[in-house]
Chains A and B, each alone.
Chain A
Amino acid sequence: MGHKVLLVDDSLFMRNMLRGIFEGEGYEIVAEAADGVEAVRKYRDFRPDITTMDIVMPAKNGIEALREIRAIDGNARVIMCSAVGQESLITAAQQAGACDFILKPFNTERVREVIRRVAGD
């Protein structure tokens, strides 16, 4: 409980939705980022316990950002968010060290399940 979370998505709408779900579970959102470059920087600054990472983003995509974050912290727990139909990206993300996936559009129950699993609660 009380885990620190970093939300990464270029859509404020999506970040707000995730924030609603996480906060409902009692997590603390320590930072948000709207692109891959910002994500890496915020990860370095805030060292969150859990990061949710969108894949399709400007400046640096989620998979590249994931690689860099894993290079900074080999134990980083990153959940990838991707849309249906991007299965090839999921494989790439797995290889880059993603620990779980949530599919858009978000199913609240499924999101909660993944969060708990990743957080080890």
Chain B
Amino acid sequence: MDMSPYRNLFFSESREHLRAFSELIVKMEQGVGSREDLYALFRSAHSLKGMAASMGYGGIAELSHSLEDLLDRVRKEELIFDTGIADLLLEGTDLLEAMIADVSAELQTARNIDDLVQRLATYQSVPSGPGVKSPASYSQSPAIEERESHDDAPQTVRVRTEVLDNLINITGELITNKHRLLTVGKELESTSLDEATVELSRLLRDLHSEIVLVRLIPFAAVADRFPRVVRDLAKKIGKEVVFEMEGAEIELDRGILEGLVDPIVHILRNAVDHALEVPADRNACGKPSQGRIKLVVSREKDQVVVAVVDDGRGMDPERLVSHAVENGFIGPEAGRLMTPGEAFMLICLPGFSTAREVGAVSGRGVGMDAVRSTIQTLGGNMTIESEPGKGSRFILRLPLTIAIINVLLVRLSLIAVAIPVTNVQRTLELKRSLIYMRGKQALFDLEGEQLPLLSLNRILGFPHGGAGELLPLFVCELKGRRVGLVVDSFIGQQEIFVKPLGRPLASMKGLGGGAVLGNGEVVFILDVANLL
């Protein structure tokens, strides 16, 4: 049968289905979708399958069929519609869109759908929430028999994520109010009020940690895309890669986890694209043809550590430094003083490795500035370790939760500001006599290292602060470089509830949010990553 009269109709109708599809998936994922929405999703996949098969587009029909089957399992309540399902369906939508665009442009692009079809067919929900056992590792899906024996399984309920957000907001406000009570208690010198506030503090801590637990979801919830990122790129550029993942059962805050996806994808892509050598080069230096990339997630105290480890060509700190000096990113003196750790962070300077020759030397820098600032905005930090010829290790440290954080409160000449403690390496008071100048740059020595000394007042455009003999300062990382930032005085460390800034403040560089202190004072939280 001549199908050409129906071609255009196929394209317009199938695109309409995909548009509706994406919208409905997001609606379902947000927990505001109805049963009818779920049926509509199912019908769209079903119609698309029928249309594509009629047109003789086998791949599109097969993929639509897999989407339909997964939705059928949800419809029959064998699965609940969770983030994992939404991700798979969206991935499928994207792929279908691309495939339809291909046939519409009469392109013969070979697109691999087998991997997705396989994942759609074998999908099992990842249980999450307090008291629910996480799968032992990312690769092991919970067995069906295990899921069916729910007699002695812990009771679970599904909660909309916005309810979780409200809970953490209310807890945050309670913590602010606790600080108010503490302030009042001090003024009144009332023992009984103090006792009550201490008890209140304890209860609030418990409440906060319980709510944090509820918001945690296992890393596995986003991990399914990573093997594919590595595999697809390696395949495309002719490299052989073994990709391993460890610790996918480790849980962290949903918001942080979502924010982490892009940075991790970026680091993985860089690792495949630049760090790993082509098989021939690897053999030449005695390495197996297959490169190894490992994504390791672990818990350290109240932080989650995500490490991307490769066994590629590694980076040479000296060559990075000389490139940075040659291209005017840093002065020769600063270059001479750099530790290897700092030298690796040079690749996070905007524009650092867009220069052609560095592509070969470091090969890791493209877009790393965005990666680093995303991680810092999430309240975490990144470090890099590397050894030429052996490989590199990108280490991301993240807090378990973002809404309530520990900050260092400091006073400046005009206002007080808060710095997340994850960004503060240490605090000290420096004698003026220990400061020395090199050119126009004030420096001081710390642990055998020469650090530039900057004034936070000056960076923020405030007037000069106090002029005591001892300068209070904290050490942090600015643009890949350890520096000392001088403040007027330290107020102390405190737990605060971060509130997002509205417009127009939110668009100001260097501000990471705001908070209300117990005494009613409003403080800004500095986003150290974007301060300069």
Judged by a CB distance under 8 angstroms, whether A16 is at the interface is yes
> Which A residues, 4 to 63, have Cβ-Cβ distances below 8 Å to chain B?
10-14, 16-17, 20-21, 56-58
**Docked-complex contact A105 and B50, CB < 8 angstroms:** yes
User: A10-B47, A13-B13 are known contacts. Are A20 and B54 too (CB-CB below 8 A)?
Assistant: no
**A17 CB contacts on chain B under 8 angstroms:** 6, 54
- CA A11 – CA B1 in complex, angstroms? 19
**Docked-complex contact B50 and A14, CB < 8 angstroms:** yes
Judged by a CB distance under 8 angstroms, whether B46 is at the interface is yes
Minimum distance in angstroms from A53 CB to a CB of chain B: 14
Number of interface residues of A (CB under 8 A): 17
The size bracket of the interface on B is 10 to 19
User: A83-B49, A104-B53 are known contacts. Are A58 and B40 too (CB-CB below 8 A)?
Assistant: yes
- CA A87 – CA B51 in complex, angstroms? 19
**B5 CB contacts on chain A under 8 angstroms:** 16, 20
- Inter-chain contact count A-B, CB under 8 Å? 47
Q: Which residue of A lies closest to B8 (CB)?
A: A13
Judged by a CB distance under 8 angstroms, whether A91 is at the interface is no
- CA A104 – CA B5 in complex, angstroms? 18
* Residue from B1, B10, B50 having most chain A Cβ neighbours under 10 A: B50
Judged by a CB distance under 8 angstroms, whether A75 is at the interface is no
Q: Which residue of A lies closest to B72 (CB)?
A: A85
Judged by a CB distance under 8 angstroms, whether B9 is at the interface is yes
| B36-56 near A? 1/0 per residue, CB < 8 Å | 000110110011011101100
- CA A106 – CA B6 in complex, angstroms? 13
Minimum distance in angstroms from A76 CB to a CB of chain B: 24
- CA A20 – CA B2 in complex, angstroms? 10
- CA A16 – CA B51 in complex, angstroms? 11
Which residues of B approach A to under 8 Å, CB–CB?
1, 5-6, 9-10, 13, 39-40, 42-43, 46-47, 49-51, 53-54, 61
Which residues of A approach B to under 8 Å, CB–CB?
10-14, 16-17, 20-21, 56-58, 83, 104-106, 108
Closest 10 CB pairs of A and B: A105-B53, A105-B54, A104-B50, A108-B1, A13-B13, A11-B47, A13-B9, A56-B46, A13-B51, A56-B43
